[in-house]
Amino acid sequence: MSNTSNIKKAEIQREHQAGPGLNNAGQPVTGAARTPVTWVSLGAMAYDQALDRQMRQAQAVLEGDDSQTVYFVEHPPTITIGRNGTSEHILAPKAYLEQQGFSVYEVDRGGDVTYHGPGQAVLYPVLHLAPWGNDVGRYVRMLEQCAMTALSYVGIRAERLEGYPGAWVGDNKICAIGARVKRRIDSEFVTSHGLALNVNPNLGHFSTIIPCGIQDKGVTSVARELGKDVEFSEWEKRLKDAFAEVFEVEV
């Protein structure tokens, strides 16, 4: 085989390893074919039902299904405790939580204690990460950017806060990030869980916990930052558009 053929073969192999839409450094390539993603709207759904839905999809992907899926959902009042969390960060008595209709779950994701509830837009991306360089750190940053991009559509400037995952407006968290990854047999990562953006939730519900175990920071919402009522229904499209923009996918 000629040297030219060997070089061409090596170039093709590197392109395949980088994944669709990426160059050899794992960066997006403008004009490249976009990865198709299925967007599933679950509406308002109990946490355990949505968890079962995404875990079944994640298991299918771990076993070789190459589909890429994002679930959009809104939960009733729910507290989840991540792998790094503790029930000590739940401040409200159990009887009060039951009276107010809260559910509490221990879950297999990163992070500490998190609140979900009406008015909060939740995304659960179930993805295999080859198209994004199989880079978990990059994936988390892209989730943060997705929230920040969606917020920019309405003039809210959210930023990262060093040492604290999520999207922040000053010292107040507006979007929480909590991801889980597992490896396929070929070492490709598969994701579950995701992000929770505070659109117009009852911010008083956050007083039932120490959000993400962080005692010296606050929480905020789109409604609070804009100083007016907002339509929750408009935020699915904003997040969908932001996800397509940041992840460079066809949704």
Contact 185, 128 (CB under 8 A): no
Catalytic residues: 212
Residue in 90, 132, 82 with CA at minimum distance from that of residue 249: 132
Check if the beta carbon of residue 84 is closer than 8 Å to that of residue 111.
yes
Residues 98, 96: Cα–Cα separation, whole Å: 5
Total residues found in the chain within this entry: 251
Q: What's phi and psi for 45, nearest 5 deg? A: -150, 140
CA distance 88 to 209: 9
